């Protein structure tokens, strides 16, 4: 009787998804985004990943390399925006927010 209970409890834990880190692995998606303005590249990323994008217009400039490969949304954002004047973060399930990164001007010499 005890063995049957332990087996049933173990089965429930696995069925409920408490299988450890592998159960929480982010989805990997095939991305194909050519070089283009960051705002357009971000919209392409959002469409290919089926996520809502907030603030794509906050990112000026253009991606010179684009992005291609099977990646998580976080990995794709990091690669696409490397060196960009903006950053992006996942703010909720299926939602990505883009923010402009304030660039600091070099200090001016005193007169």
Task: Name the pLDDT band for 108 (thresholds 50, 70, 90).
Answer: low
Gap between the Cα atoms of 33 and 29, Å rounded = 12
Residue of higher predicted confidence among 67 and 110:
67
Under DSSP, the state recorded for 110 is P
Residue of higher predicted confidence among 10 and 42:
42
In 3D space, the residue among 63, 59, 62 whose CA is nearest the CA of residue 100 turns out to be: 59
- How are beta strands 95-100 and 86-92 bridged, if at all? antiparallel
Whether residue 17 has pLDDT greater than 80: no
pTM of the model: 0.70
In this prediction, residues 37-50 reach a mean pLDDT of 96
In 3D space, the residue among 102, 59, 67 whose CA is nearest the CA of residue 84 turns out to be: 59
Gap between the Cα atoms of 28 and 102, Å rounded = 31
The answer to whether 47 touches 82, Cβ cutoff 8 Å, is: no
pLDDT for residue 15: 42
Q: Is the dihedral of CA 70, 53, 101, 62 positive or negative?
A: positive
Owner of token pair 């990112």: 59
């Amino acid at each position: 009787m005890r063995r049957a209970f332990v087996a049933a409890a173990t089965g429930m834990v696995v069925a409920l998804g408490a299988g450890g880190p592998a159960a929480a692995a982010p989805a990997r998606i095939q991305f194909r985004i050519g070089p283009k303005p960051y705002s357009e590249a971000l919209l392409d990323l959002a469409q290919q990943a089926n996520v809502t994008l907030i603030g794509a217009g906050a990112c000026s400039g253009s991606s010179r390399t684009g992005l291609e490969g099977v990646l998580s949304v976080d990995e794709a954002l990091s690669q696409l925006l490397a060196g960009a004047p903006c950053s992006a973060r996942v703010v909720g399930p299926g939602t990505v927010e883009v923010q402009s990164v304030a660039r600091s001007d070099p200090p001016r010499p005193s007169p």
